[in-house]
Every structure is written in C-alpha cells, then in structure tokens.
Structure 1
Amino acid sequence: MSESHGALAGLKVIDLTQMLAGPYCTMLLADQGADVIKIEPINGDPTRAFGPFRADDAEHHYGGYFQSTNRNKKSIAIDLKSEEGKKLFRRLARDADVVAENFRAGVMDRLGIGYETLAADNPKLVYAAIRGFGDPRTGASPYVDRPAFDVVAQAMGGAMGVTGPDAQTPMKIGPGVGDIFPAALTAFGIMAALRHAEKTGQGQFVDVAMYDGIVAMCERIIYQQSYTGRSPVPEGNQHPILCPFGTFTAADGQVTVGCPRDSFWKELTAIMGRPELGDDPKFATNNARLVHSAETIALVEGWTSARTKAEIALALDGKVPFGPVNTAEDIFADPHMAARQMLVDVEHPGSSKPVTIASTPVRMTLTPGGVQHRAPLTGENTSGVLEAAGLSKDEIADLRQRSIIA
C-alpha cells in the first residue's frame, strides 16, 4: 500500500509536537497519507529515550513510546533557537498546509515564528496548538502558564472524578486519554479549518486545551450536575443511568454486559432462564432496574459467575451486548484483530525482529491509509526535505557542519 492511497495525500504538515498529544494528532493525519515532517531538536525528540526497548536493541534510537505515534512521519532536525534555523523553518512553513505544535503558550511567539508571523507568509496556513489550558488567542485561562500532562487533564476535566471503585477512590483511566482525546479533537479541528481554507483561501488558528477536551469527553457529568444539582462520583464498573451496564464476574475472569434498551433485558432474562423478570414491574424498565440496581446486578452476576467467558459468549452472541474483559495477550489472539488488520508489524532499528503496533481504526474503502513505515531516526529525512525546499547539497552540508541541522 503506497502513501498516495491515503485521502490526505499531498497535504503538507509541519510537526513540532512532542510527548503524546501532539504526535498522536499528527499521526492521525499521517495515517491517512499526509506528508508529516517532524521537526526535532538537534539531539532528537526527548521521548526517543522512553521505553520499552527490545532486549536485543543496543542502539536505542527510540523505544515503543516513540515508535507507536511517530510512524509514517519524516524527521528533520533543526536548531530553532538559531536565526538560520528559524529562517529554515519559515521557509518550510511557507508552502505548508498545517503547522502543529504543543509547546506552552507564547514559546513560538518568543522565538519569532508564531502563528501571525507564519500566516503573514502563508495566509492559507492552518496552525494547530494543543496545550494544557489553551491559548490566549481563543480565551485566556488563568492557568495558561501551567504545564500539563495526561494525568492533569484527566484530574481536572472530570475523568478521574467519575472513575474508581467508590466515591472515595478516584482513579485515572489507564490509557492516556488526557492526551489522546484532545489529539483526536485537534485532528478534527485541523480538517475543519482546512475545509474552510479550501473554500475561502483563509487559514486560521486551531486551539484545543487538554482540560477542555476531557470536559467534552466527560459530557455526561455536566448535564448530570445541571439536571440534578449533584456532582457524579465514581461508581465502580456499573453505570449511573443504565442498568445492567457494566462488568460481571465469570468463572474464568470478567465480562461486560449492557442493556441500554428494555428489549435487551427481556432477551437476557430469557437466556438466563428467568423470563418472568422481563415483565416484572421491579425490572421491566431501565428506570425500575436503576431503583433496584443492587438486586438487578446480583441476578445477572449469579448467572455469569457460574459460566466461563466462552459459555457466556455462546449464550449471548448476537442477542445481548457483551464482551470479555481482554488483556493485551487476549487482544493479540482475537481473530477480530486479524480480520480488521488492527495489529501491524514494523521494523525497529537495532532489533532483529519487527515489533507490533496498533494500526489506524479509521477505515475507508477507496483511500484506506494505514501504517506505511516505522518511525524515523533523528534527522533521517533532513537532506531530502531541505533539497525539496530548494537548498543545494553544499548548503545542507554547511548547515550540518555548523550544527544548524542534523
């Protein structure tokens, strides 16, 4: 599959992002065929040092953290603190469609290469920023100068406040949703702004605050507070509005079962051998089951706990929403993953065997996109990118000799 098969083939993205939120955003664009040029410091993106590493990889160009979210990208290393480095960056941005960064507010402006400067050279430019608390251009947060990571966004945005075994034990969600969901929102914002630029010739500044993104992801808690006057709290693995809807013990692990509609409850009770519960006023409607939630959950768990995950799957398959609680090992073994080509092997420099990363879940019939190649080495594409920008081999060699590029 070639890169031209992606729907975003021909889109030029200058990527200044580091850590997880920004790289995940630009990865989404790269997976769909965009030409993403990752600009790194001379010594490389600091996240290259994050593991895990393969046991036989003595070179440590990067670990799994970097590999996963920087696939399909090119790398060019530039010293952006130098005047010549800034000129190079402006030259690259002059014909770019998108610039993305996730520095603290004001960093790019102090370097003299902020949005307004770049837009003066390239009025159609879409400039996207992901920050913990947004950019003053769209709303000056009192927290604008605070650094933020996933755990901060999860805590402040409400995700931790409704996750955990009970009201006294808030917990962070395992995956880095505080980064990844704002990243997906930013990719959406970029595409919306590009659509506007195509129609009008006018680019714009796209701003996503991680805090805002997690509040948007936790939208349920906002209307719950507004409608009831009470702040939702962690409720374990059940649901505050739907019942039954959560995890249940099986003989060999755990499964999830959900009955968001009363028809599913009737189907479930029939399968459980208790069809009378489907019409019992205590359980017939979702609101009634919520009132009697402890009893409802106990009834379902009494049935699931006496059966293995495979037996539950056989009984419920195609009739009631359910799924086993999978480990990574389970996911690797699931035939769904193979059928959907969701696990992809890529080369890892320094290791004798390929590594596996998660592919894109966005599937399109004519422009499939997907994982094309591994993450780049630091500055692996510097010469090619600069030659395409019009620099001669001698100019590139001189800049490299003076450590303006690598």
Structure 2
Amino acid sequence: MTAPSDRTSTGPLAGIKVLDLSRVLAGPWCSQILGDLGAEVIKIEQPGQGDDTRRWGPPFLDDGSRDSAYYLCANRNKRSVAINMADPRGAALIRRFAAEADIVIENFRVGGLAKYGLDYPSLKAIKPDVIHCSITGFGQDGPYKDVGGYDFLIQGLSGLMSVTGRPDDQPGGGPMKVGIPVSDLSTGLYAAVSILAALHHRNRTGEGQHIDLALLDTQVSLLANQASNWMNGGMEPRRLGNQHPNTVPYQDFSCADGDVLVALGNDRQFRAFTAMIGVADLADDPRFSNSASRSVNRADLILQMSAAIAQWKAADLIAAMEKAGLPGGKVNEIPEILDHPQIRARGLVHEIRRSDGTPVRFLGFPAKLSASPADYRHAPPRSGEDTIAILEDKFELTNKEIERLIKAGVIAEKL
C-alpha cells in the first residue's frame, strides 16, 4: 500500500503538536506513534550530525542521504529541523517551538537540558500546560540516575536475559538477548500511553505534567508472569529455551523434516493433540492429565511426545493442527512473514516516498481505529530538510535572518 506524503492529518491526534528532542529509538518510537495518530511532530537534530541512528548500518538507503534502514523504522510522520541547542540562539529558537507545543519528548541525561533552558521547569514557565516526557535508562532519581541506559544493558540488568535462551546445562546455554531492542520499543510504547493519559488529564483539568520514564522500570514491569511466579509462588524463573514456565507443552518440536511450534494452553487441547499424534494414553496418565501435573513432570512428557512427533512431516502436522483448531505453526523468516497472506490482508506493509521521490517501505501502526485510523503523511525526513520552511512558516524569519543563523552554525539545511 503506497501512502501519499505531505497531506493534512486526519488522525485522532490532529492538531496536537509534539516537539521531539529525542534520538535513537525509545523516544523516536514514541513520537512516531503520536505522528501516526495524527500529531504534528517537529524533530530537532544537531546540525551536521543528526540522529545517531542515521549511521547505524548497513543497510543504507541509496538516495544520497545514506540514512540507515534502522533510522527509517522510527521516524516517519515527522519534520526535521537542525538547530544547535548549545548555542543560546539555537536554544531560544527551540523554546519558541516549545511555546507552541502540547508535548515535549526528550531522552537526555538527567539534568542535561537545564543548561539550555529546555528542562521541564523552564518549559513549564513558558507553557504551563505542557506535557514533558523524559526518557532515561534509570529514571530521574535513585543511585543509578546518572548512568546511561542502553537496550542490551537493560535486557541484562532487568532479569530478562536470565529467562531468555537455552538452559545452562544444554549446548548453547546461557543468557541471550531478545532479537529486537525490546526494552527501547516497550519504553516508547509506555511513553505514548502515558502521554495520552496526560493529555486526557489536561483536557479535564487544564494541567500539564512531567512524565519520568525509565527503560529499567519498563523492562522490569514486563517480567509479568515470570516475576509473579517468584513474588507469589517462590519459584525462581530460569532459562527454558522455547518452553513455557507454567504451561506444558508450549515449545518447538522436531519433526522428520523440520521444526514445528506447539502451543497448547489447556487440558482439552492437550487431550485432542495427543489423540491426533497417536499417544492418547498420555492424557489419561495422572502425571500429565492436568496442566499443573504436566508442568511438574515436563521432562518425561516431552520425551514421549518428542518421539511421537518425530514421525511426522512438519507440513502434515501443521495441517492436522489447523484442521483440528489447535494452536501451532512454523517459525517464519522475516521475508516470509512480510509476504504472508494474513499480513498482506491486514495491510501492514506500506510505502511512502521521500521528498526526492525515493520510496521507503515500512510497517504501519497495527491497531485499526474504525473512526479515526492512523495515517502516513511524511516519509522519514533527511536531517534538517524542513529547517528553513518551518522557520519561515512558524516564526516568519526573513531570508537574511536565516542566512545569518546558517553562517553562525546555529541552524543547518539538510545534510
């Protein structure tokens, strides 16, 4: 699906203005969500440098910009303005943007924006009802508040890697990170949720607020059932590979010609599956007849099920499970899932063109809002490509003023 660029927003957040001072992933992921939902997003970048992720490649977009595919995944529906905030004139320009903004998003070190007059107290004095979201590795207080946070570090510190990967006593055992930057992405999602809640609060009361969001807090909160197993049952979670800590069988199995995923969530499904693969007696064995017993006796059960499943061809087992309405399937490669008929039917893959006509393909906003769907108006911009147009339009700066700022290094045109 090809999306036109540079059209007026029709999304539910149309009219909301976002000043995005963030870079890399957690903050930009949040501002992209708000942009998909219709907000106007102004992305402030350092002249001559831009967002760090522009250089996180290969692969790079072959359009002269050398922007990375990584950068492209998190920066659509934004306009890029290159301003040097370290220059007092640049900081003053950014404060003019803040005076019009409903939302400010930043991921500087704690206290890092105060010297530019861009921290929450400074911006609140300019715009009392502003919603200011600060994203850091460890939050605005506590003994780690001044430590930089990175997704890989957070995955390890949070306990996530203690439950991800093969068991220590198996080949390849040991801690393993998730294959996507899940700590950054989930923090961006929580930031968007928190901002929308703050917007609703402001609509009711007229009051803005500061949002303090930490990658570590987010990732620890997502330990969910694993943390609850320890806090409420005294069961210390361990790495189980592809097995589930509570529900059995819920893992991959080897067929005669490949692997199949089996995800049985209740006793009825277990009984139907064992009958289907020719070991119906397992469902009547007291060791395996209910979910709790299967979890305690998982090793014996998996051994017997593995032997039966190994006799099947993968495609035949998947087809049999689909016919029986049992949850299972294959492990898709990324090219396979992006070409999957269900993903095609859902219209998740889109294309939009940059200002020079270069196409950019992307995965769209997954929720389908019946009355006010997400829309895609701007391709991920080149660094600073909207600087002059926006300064002329918003602040009515003259050509001479703009030229003076460019020569002084306060602002820059696109890289």
Report whether the alignment pairs 1:79 with 2:80: no
- Distance in 2 (CA, whole Å) between partners of 1:202 and 1:14 is 18
State the partner residue of 2:166.
Answer: 165
After superposition, the Cα gap between the structure-2 partners of 1:211 and 1:308, relative to the gap in structure 1 and judged at 3 Å, is same
- Residue 97 of structure 2, aligned match among 84, 92, 103: 92
State the partner residue of 2:367.
Answer: 362
Aligned 8 A contact 1:253 1:325 in 2: no
Equivalent position SS for 1:336: helix
Question: Aligned pairs, how many?
Answer: 400
- Aligned residue type for 1:305: A
- Distance in 2 (CA, whole Å) between partners of 1:325 and 1:294 is 23
Question: Deviation at 1:103?
Answer: 1.0
State the partner residue of 1:125.
Answer: 130
TM-score (norm 1): 0.92
Question: Deviation at 1:332?
Answer: 2.6
State the partner residue of 2:147.
Answer: 146
Aligned 8 A contact 2:98 2:104 in 1: yes
- Distance in 2 (CA, whole Å) between partners of 1:385 and 1:353 is 22
- Residue 329 of structure 2, aligned match among 323, 326, 338: 323
Question: Deviation at 1:224?
Answer: 2.0
- Distance in 2 (CA, whole Å) between partners of 1:65 and 1:401 is 31
Question: Deviation at 1:349?
Answer: 7.7
- Aligned residue type for 2:129: K
Report whether the alignment pairs 1:102 with 2:103: no
The one-character-per-residue Cα deviations of 1:345-383 (angstroms, maximum 9, x if unpaired) are 334688x97343222212211222144432101111112
The one-character-per-residue Cα deviations of 1:106-139 (angstroms, maximum 9, x if unpaired) are 111122210011011111111001100011xxxx
Question: Deviation at 1:29?
Answer: 1.0
State the partner residue of 1:115.
Answer: 120
- Distance in 1 (CA, whole Å) between partners of 2:361 and 2:314 is 27
Greater Cα offset, 213-222 or 181-190: 213-222
Gaps of 5+ in 1: none
Question: Deviation at 1:63?
Answer: 1.0
Counting only pairs closer than 5 Å after superposition, residues 368-383 of structure 1 correspond to structure 2 as: 368-383=373-388
Question: Deviation at 1:326?
Answer: 1.2
- Residue 292 of structure 1, aligned match among 297, 301, 317: 297
Counting only pairs closer than 5 Å after superposition, residues 318-357 of structure 1 correspond to structure 2 as: 319-347=325-353, 354-357=359-362
State the partner residue of 2:18.
Answer: 13
After superposition, the Cα gap between the structure-2 partners of 1:19 and 1:238, relative to the gap in structure 1 and judged at 3 Å, is same
Equivalent position SS for 2:411: coil
After superposition, the Cα gap between the structure-2 partners of 1:207 and 1:309, relative to the gap in structure 1 and judged at 3 Å, is farther
Aligned 8 A contact 1:97 1:125 in 2: yes
Please identify runs of 4+ aligned residues in structure 1 that moved more than 6 A: none
After superposition, the Cα gap between the structure-2 partners of 1:74 and 1:404, relative to the gap in structure 1 and judged at 3 Å, is same
Report whether the alignment pairs 1:50 with 2:56: yes
The one-character-per-residue Cα deviations of 1:266-317 (angstroms, maximum 9, x if unpaired) are 2212322333333332222001111221232234333443334432221111
State the partner residue of 1:209.
Answer: 214
Percent of residue pairs identical: 36
CA RMSD of aligned residues (A): 2.1
After superposition, the Cα gap between the structure-2 partners of 1:299 and 1:34, relative to the gap in structure 1 and judged at 3 Å, is farther
Report whether the alignment pairs 1:239 with 2:244: yes
State the partner residue of 1:197.
Answer: 202
Question: Deviation at 1:48?
Answer: 1.1
Equivalent position SS for 1:170: coil
Aligned 8 A contact 2:88 2:116 in 1: no
Aligned 8 A contact 1:21 1:130 in 2: yes
After superposition, the Cα gap between the structure-2 partners of 1:324 and 1:370, relative to the gap in structure 1 and judged at 3 Å, is farther
Aligned 8 A contact 1:61 1:377 in 2: no
Aligned 8 A contact 1:10 1:34 in 2: yes
- Distance in 2 (CA, whole Å) between partners of 1:268 and 1:261 is 11
- Distance in 1 (CA, whole Å) between partners of 2:350 and 2:382 is 19
The one-character-per-residue Cα deviations of 1:146-205 (angstroms, maximum 9, x if unpaired) are 111101110111110111101461111111012111111111111111110111111111
Question: Deviation at 1:255?
Answer: 2.5
- Distance in 1 (CA, whole Å) between partners of 2:393 and 2:71 is 26
